[in-house]
Amino acid sequence: MTESHTADSADKARWERVIMRRPSQVLPRLRALSVKRGDPAAARAALLGAFFILERWGRAAELQDELQLALQPVRAKKLSPAEAAELSEALGRLHYQRGDYVEACNAWSQTLDLANDDSRSACLARIGLAHLCYALGDWARGGRVLDQAELHYKHLARDPYLRAKIALNRAASLRTTQGPQAALSALREALAAAREAGHSDYRAEATWQQARCARDTGDTALALKLAQEALALAQRCGYRWLQAQATLLLSEMHKDDVALGWAGQALTLAEAIQSRALQAAAHGRLADLMQEHGELGPSWHHQQQRKRLESTLGQSQLPAQLEALARFDTHPPPEREGTDNEIAEAVKGLAGLAGVGRQMNELLNREHIRRDELLALALQVSQEAERLRRLLLP
- Residue pLDDT tens, the chain, 394 long: 444 444 455 556 566 666 666 777 778 888 888 777 777 888 888 888 888 888 888 888 888 888 888 888 766 567 788 888 999 999 999 998 888 888 888 899 999 989 888 899 999 999 999 988 888 778 888 888 899 999 899 888 888 999 999 999 999 989 988 899 999 999 999 999 999 888 888 999 999 999 999 999 999 999 999 999 999 999 998 899 999 999 999 999 998 899 999 999 999 999 999 888 899 999 999 999 999 888 999 999 999 999 998 887 755 555 555 555 555 555 544 444 445 565 556 555 555 555 556 555 555 555 555 555 555 556 556 555 655 555 555 4
| Burial readout 171-192 (b: 16 or more C-beta within 10 A, e: otherwise) | bbbbbbbeebebbbebbebbbb
Burial class (CB in 10 A: 0-12, 13-18, 19+), 354: exposed
Q: Find, among 23, 31, 85, the residue nearest to 63 by Cα.
A: 31
Rounded Cα gap, residues 393 and 338, in angstroms: 10
Rounded-to-integer distance, Cα 293 and Cα 302, Å? 14
Per-residue confidence (pLDDT) for residue 34, from 0 to 100: 79
**What's the burial of 316, exposed, middle or buried (CB within 10 Å: 0-12/13-18/19+)?**
exposed
Handedness of CA 104, 18, 49, 241 (dihedral sign): positive
Angle 143-149-154 from CA coordinates, rounded to 5°: 140
Query: What whole-number distance in Å separates Cα of residue 384 and Cα of residue 350?
Result: 8
Radius of gyration, alpha carbons of the chain? 22
What distance in Å separates the CA atoms of residue 34 and residue 54, rounded to the nearest whole number? 14
